Structure 1
Amino acid sequence: MNIDINCDLGEGTDLHSCDRDAQIMPFISRCNIACGGHAGTPEIMSRSIENALQNSLKIGAHPSYPDRKNFGRKSLAISKKKLLDSLCEQIGQLENIAQELGAKLDHIKLHGALYNDAESNIELAKSIIRLFNEVYPSLKIVGLANGAMQFAASEKSKSIIREGFMDRQYLNKSQLAPRSLTNAIITETEKCLEQAVCLAKGLQFKDYHGGKLQFFVDTICLHSDNPQAPVIAKQLKQHLKANGVSIAR
């Protein structure tokens, strides 16, 4: 059995952060590279793509609200046109750098507050999917399993990669527990690894309220902002293998 593992990368402030990101790459199969909205510079994008190519990873764009000040973690009250124009600018910048390096983008995954807003607002999700369908028809979309982006994509026959989170609590099968809730983030590595196995194999696991959830995902997110991310990535690969699951390459 195989499962895709994705990680948000290129979010550091200098090229040294790319070296740390590179330590994670042998244990994942897909990377989402920040493209200027919340983080990322042309130099960091370039180095991130080069490292991803060396590790044979699928490469995707990781756009956000245009808000570097808050790292894209706050919802912005901006016009839909301004938002969609910014998404095109961000993805286009990464795509141009990728082409210069002989790489091709595979997918798009929204970041932070925009990811959450799109998954909770079907009209916003539809607008974003419509844009991606028109401007980037060949790129897949990584979105929350059972969420609004998946629904909007299915309406437009847009390819969706259903995402699950190993380190986040779920309120229900289509909604993550907000970070503002106590214990919404799973900090114990063992629990993260077990939830990853359940998501990969479609097994039952507990939701935020102690109830039972069960659904399949196509990819599991490994967050890179944990200082121990390279170690956790290695442990994840080993734990999945011990449970009969390989990382898709």
Structure 2
Amino acid sequence: MRLRKTGLQPQSNGAGMRTVDLNCDFGESYGAYTFGQDEALLKHVTSVSIACGFHAGDPHTMREAVERAMAAGVSIGAHPGLPDRLGFGRREMAISAEEACDYTLYQVGALQAFVRAAGGKLRHVKPHGALYHMAGHDEAIAAAVVRAVKSLDPALFIYSQSGSLLLEEARRQGMRAIAEVFADRTYLPSGALTPRHLPKAVLTEPEEALGQALDMIIRGKARTAEGSEAAVLAETVCLHGDGPNALHLAASLRQGLQEAGIRLQHPQ
């Protein structure tokens, strides 16, 4: 993915304080299988992206995830992926733009039904895994994903990686785009994430992740595996809930960001 300059700046509350959203993927269990540390992470994040049944999640898990998020008072988003449960939605598939649109609409609409039934409101959509990256560099896929979301509710925010085509397409279609960065991943000089199979792709120490998050929010710079920096815009910071240190990392991030004078709040 080639980083694109947007001219945007991190949000401010009007008094000079930076405001950023802290999000995590959520509800990625299904059937008899449990993944992540959902319940424990809720106290540290300001928004969650709930799996919608393709790469992970099922009707029971979706309902339960919505109810837990609402009880915790965090903002709820949909996390649609490719129909590849065996690969956890992380393997690219040869899909058409029409299929990308249908897959997105199907999944987001399903989660929206659970949110409405619980008396809540769906706030954002963030594609998962391979769909996230495909929409980030493929213009046709990006346009299709945005078209699906806009047809369902044009007021929804679209989360995507800082500099991605999906953000650009969302703005082109008149939707609010939220630039995302990753506290626990290193970057390539282009602004793309270091592929998981390469060394130093994942930051496992809370101190490292917090340092990177602060650099991205305050300086607009992310660390690369080689030790250089890449330009990013941080409006929401993602942390992954399925790692062994996820809970410690989340607690460290929340405390460290607040101590740095950064206000944690989902997009308004």
Q: Is the pair's TM-score, using the shorter chain for normalization, greater than 0.5?
A: yes
What's the offset of the Cα at 1:222?
Answer: 1.0
Letter in 2 for 1:22: E
Distance 2:37 2:208 in 1: 24
* Residue 242 (str. 1) matches residue 245 (str. 2): no
Match of 1:136 among 130, 143, 153: 153
User: Taking structure 1 as the reference length, what is the TM-score of the superposition?
Assistant: 0.92
Contact 1:18 1:44 in 2 (8 A): no
Cα gap change, 1:150 to 1:238, in 2 (>3 Å): same
What is the percent sequence identity of the aligned residues?
A: 34
Give the match's secondary structure for 1:172. coil
Amino acid at match of 1:80: A
Q: Is the 8 A contact 1:18 1:47 kept in 2?
A: no
Check whether the contact 1:18–1:48 (CA below 8 A) recurs between aligned residues: no
Q: 1:227 to 1:14 in 2, by over 3 A?
A: farther
Contact kept in structure 1, 2:181 and 2:232, CA below 8 Å: no
Over 3 Å counting, the alpha-carbon distance change for 1:16 and 1:77 in structure 2 is closer
> Which of 52, 58, 62 lines up with 2:75 in the alignment?
58
Q: TM-score, normalised by structure 2?
A: 0.86
On the 8 A contact 1:15/1:47 being kept in 2, the answer is no
Tell me the residue number matched to 2:203. Answer: 186
Does the Cα contact within 8 Å between 2:37 and 2:241 map onto a contact in 1?
Answer: no
- What are the within-5 Å matches in structure 2 for residues 156-195 of structure 1? 156-172=173-189, 174-195=191-212
CA distance in 1, matches of 2:236, 2:110: 25
Given that 1:5 and 1:220 are in contact with CA atoms closer than 8 Å, whether structure 2 keeps it comes out as: yes
* 1:81-128 Cα deviation digits (max 9, x unpaired): 233212211111111111111111000000001111111222321222
For 1:103, give the aligned amino acid: G
The residue that corresponds to 1:20 in the other structure is 37
Give the corresponding residue for 1:103: 120
What stretches of structure 2 of length at least 5 have no aligned partner?
Answer: 1-17
Map of 2:144 onto structure 1: 127
Distance 1:33 1:236 in 2: 21
In the alignment, what sits opposite 2:245? 228
Higher helix share: 1
Relative distance call for 1:79 and 1:206 in structure 2 (3 A) is: closer
Partners of 1:11 and 1:34 within 8 A in 2:
yes
Matched, 1:37 2:60: no
How many pairs are equivalent? 249
